[in-house]
Every structure is written in C-alpha cells, then in structure tokens.
Amino acid sequence: MTRVTMSTGGVVFGSGTGYDPEDNHRVATDDSGQPMHMIFMGDFSGRGSRGDIDMASLANRPLREINRDNFDDVFAALNVRLQLPTCASPIAFEDLDDLHPDTLYRRVPLFHRLRELTAQLNNPAQFAQAAADIQSWTVTEAPQQVTGMAIPEGLFDRPAAKEANRRGEAQDVNDFIRQIVAPFVEPKSDPRAAELTATLERVAANALRNLMHAGDFQRLEANWRSVNLLVRRLETGKNLKLFLLDVSEEELRADFSASDDITQAALYQRLISSFQMPGATPWSVLVSDVTLTDEVADVRLAAGLSALAVYADAIALVSGHERIAGCASLAQTPDVADWQHPVNAQFAKLWQALRDEPQSDSLLVAAPRFLLRLPYGARTAPIESFGFEELGADGAHGHYLWGNGAYAVALLMGQSFEQNYWDFASGLVTRLSDLPLHIYADEDGDAVAKACAEIYMTDTTAAALLTAGLCPLRSVKGDGAVLMQGFNALVAGGQSVLEVITA
C-alpha cells in the first residue's frame, strides 16, 4: 500500500502515529475466508436538514448492520426526521413507505389546511366560508396566461425559512398557501365547488412536487432507496455484510477539516483504529453519499476519503458531478463539443495533484447518477390522495429521483464478489439490470425511454469523463440497465480500483 501523507497545494493529510499502511496485509485472492464488509456513510436520519452537527459523538456513533430482514428496524432505530421550511417541527418517518406522497399529504401541516378546505367545500354549511377563504388569496390582477402553478423555485430549500424553524418560528400555513396560490386564483363572485376543489388540488400537487424535489428530501429518499436496492439484490450473510453510518455531509467536511493528520479524524477512530485488533474484519468498501463538484473544498473531501480507504486497506466510492469535466449538465449538453463550463483553475490544479498521488488509486468517483424509481403519476405510479403528476408539464430532468452513482458501483462490486469471491480477474458483473424504465411521449408524440443513467452516453463523452478522473456509468439504449465497463480509480491513468483489494 502506498504512503498516506498527501500534499496537494493546501490539502494535506498525514499521520503522526508511525503507522505504516504498507504493513497491512491486503485481502488475499485465494480461499482465505475473508468476507466483504461495506459501510455506507450518509445522512440517513435527516440530520443535515435539522442542522444537527454533533462532532463529539462521531467517533462512537453506531455502525448498524443492515439486510433485507432488519431493514425496517434499522430505519426506525435511526429516528428519521426531516426539517421542512414550512413546518414548525421536523416530520418523522417510521419506515420507507412514509416517504410516499400519500403519507406526506396526510402529515405535512400545509396539506392539512388544504384537505380541510376541500372537505368544507363539499359541506353546504361550510361552503361559503371556505370559498371566501380561498378567494381572499387572490391578487388584484391575475396573470394573463396560466399553464401551470409554479411555486417559487427552491421554496422548500430556503435557508432563511430553515433557520426560522430552528428558532421555533414556523411560517403561518395560511400565509404560505396565500403566497403560492395568489397568482393563480381569479376573483369570482359566485364560485363553484368543483372549480375551487380543482384549484386546491392543483395547489396541493405543486406544493407536493416542490416538497419532494427539495434537496434535503431528495437526498434522504435517494439514500434509503439506494440501500434498499442493495439489500434486495445482494445475498448478505457470513461472507458479505452491509453497514450504515449516519453522518451528514457537514459533519464529514468538518471532520476532515479539523486536522491535517487523518489519524486524528473521528471517522478514522470509528472506522479504522477500532478495527485494528486480532479477529476484527476490516472494511473492504467505504461508500459516501457525497457528490463531489468543482469546488476547491471538495478536493480535501476526496483526499480524506482516499486516505481513509488507504488506512482501511479498502476502496472508497463517491459520486462526482460532470462539472469536474467541464460540463455544466450532461442532461442538457450530452455532446462534448457543447461543454463550456469553466472549471475553477485552483480546483483543477489541486484535483490533478490529488490524482498524481499514489493513494488516489483507492478512490473511485462515479458519474452520472442512476434512476431509483419511476416518477409518480397516473401512467406510472398513481397515488390515492388525488391526481398527482410528479414531473409536472415540463417533465424536468432534475425532478426524477436520481441515485448517487457510488451505490450502483457498490452493488456491482457486491454482485461480482458473490460470483467469484475475491478473484475479480475471473469475471466482473458490469451490468446493472432491472432498473426503472420511464416511457414517455416526446414533443412529436413518439414514445421515448428515459436513460437510466441520465443520458445515452457516447464513447466520446465517456472518454472525456475518464480523462477528468470520473468513472462513467452508461445507460443501455431503450433498456432499464446501466453498464460500467471499468472500475476506474481516480488516480491518473485510471487503473481499476479493484487492484487495491485484490493485489
């Protein structure tokens, strides 16, 4: 194993303990009985949305083994709570089904008021008051044309609203409804119940869309659905075990920023030093839910994950944004010739310095994302509460539930291990099949299959991502499948990251 002292123009990780990773025994490729243990490091409790940064507990935070039999128990044990800007207190989720839109419609206070108004409209004794309440949300001049009811972009992500809730100052629900409904309700002297009920359903649909597409919610749902995919697809047991560590991205960054000595990091204490004893099973794969971007601070994050992997004699998996390769959005510009995103010069310098370090052969940065579920809608996955179309009229690419590519790579590694144990040279599973396939009509009315990994990637685009240090996941045309043609490490030259755990 290579040295761990890293100097990348300000991103430095070293060791003051005298511990030499080269003395660690690598996992053998013969019938040694060494199991594969994977650890998923991510925000599984919603702690990031609540601003719950607890560095003091990180070194002793529980490592929870998870499998298909105890999945619901682990979910419940983590006390999952998500703070939304329109709620005075966090919403609690007891199981994966609680992330479904029907449950959200029942639990979020905003929808309580909308459901109440809908019931009042259907009650002759209460109709007049309900109609008056709705009409009070109007503005003097209604928009000339209304094709949809768009809620202000990022309304459920607004930091100011989050901070207000953390101080216990919840937004008044009626004020919030008035804010999002006012532009779309025209004053009527004699409103009809059907019209007003339809208005409330449109308001509910747009509010629910905006809530489910908020960054904190998408991350929480994507993390849990990704882990659920792995526990369903992998035969866990004595030889293959999966574990969760609940840690927010803010905590991860703070831990790596606290010291230039990686052995002083709380994550090192939790994941490495506590396993340095006879009989302990070391980690084989460290998976992070972070998506690296072309921000200078992200180089330190990548370096920290790489250093942890080196000390664990393992590999680390993380996702990377296409901006690292100079592409603002693969969905909008899949052709390399159209890439015009200016990569930060300081980031590019540090990123290349990290790639030149030998220990970056322990880190794989996957891109792009992969589809975790079909969007909710009448033709795909209808809900019971009302006629809800998750994508809206524009079918926005970002409104699909995309999973961090690191989870897809982890699944393929686990399946490869199941087939050939540590002898990856005898064969690798490189195709992830049976993913959700969304068929929709394009502008001409023709049926089109949404790419399971965001785009249908050409060889030229794949090569450009590889050149930037990203390991491409490629959609199979017209199929619910993703291909990974090589488990390329971040290190310059892109050798297979699997060489680290099979050497």
Q: pLDDT per residue over 418-430, tens digit each?
A: 999 998 888 899 9
DSSP annotation string for 201-253: HHHHHHHHHHHHTSHHHHHHHHHHHHHHHHHHHS--SSSEEEEEEE--HHHHH
The 10s digit of each residue's pLDDT in 166-205 is: 444 445 566 666 666 665 555 453 457 788 888 889 999 9
Neighbouring CB atoms inside 10 A of 129's CB total: 13
pLDDT given for residue 151 in this prediction: 47
pLDDT value at 17 more than 60: no
The 10s digit of each residue's pLDDT in 230-285 is: 999 999 999 999 999 999 999 999 999 999 999 999 999 999 998 888 888 999 99
Query: Please, where are the H alpha helices in 379-446?
Result: 405-420
Q: At residue 439, what are phi and psi to the nearest 5 degrees?
A: -100, 125
pLDDT value at 463 more than 90: yes
> Strands 315-320 and 363-367, how do they pair?
parallel
**Higher confidence at residue 365 or residue 135?**
365
pLDDT value at 350 more than 60: yes
For residue 159, give the 3-state DSSP assignment: helix
* Contact of 482 with 473, CB cutoff 8 Å: yes
For residue 165, how far is the Cα from the chain centroid? 24
pLDDT given for residue 130 in this prediction: 86
pLDDT given for residue 153 in this prediction: 52
Stated as kind and residue range, the H or E segment containing 129 is helix 127-135
Integer distance in angstroms from the first to the last C-alpha of the chain?
Answer: 9
Biggest CA pair distance of the chain: 83
Q: Please give the average per-residue pLDDT across 294-310, as a whole number.
A: 97
Task: Residue 290: name the closest of 331, 247, 339 by CA.
Answer: 247
Neighbouring CB atoms inside 10 A of 386's CB total: 19
Residue type, 148: G
pTM of the model: 0.87
**Backbone φ/ψ region at 241: left (φ over 0), alpha (ψ -120 to 50), beta:** beta
pLDDT given for residue 20 in this prediction: 47
For residue 432, give the 3-state DSSP assignment: strand
Choice among 156-165, 286-295, 342-351 with the minimum mean pLDDT:
156-165
Look over the chain and give the mean of its residue pLDDT values, rounded to a whole number. Answer: 86
Task: Residue 240: name the closest of 387, 450, 416 by CA.
Answer: 416
pLDDT given for residue 308 in this prediction: 97
Whose tokens are 């599973």? That residue is 429
Tokens of 397: 């690419």
Q: Which residues of 415-445 are buried (b: 16+ CB within 10 A; e: fewer)?
A: bbbbeebbebeeebbeebeebbbbeeeeeee
Q: Which residues of 314-332 are buried (b: 16+ CB within 10 A; e: fewer)?
A: bbbbbbbbbbbbbbebbbe
pLDDT given for residue 406 in this prediction: 99
For residue 388, give the 3-state DSSP assignment: coil
Q: Please give the average per-residue pLDDT across 281-297, as a whole number.
A: 97
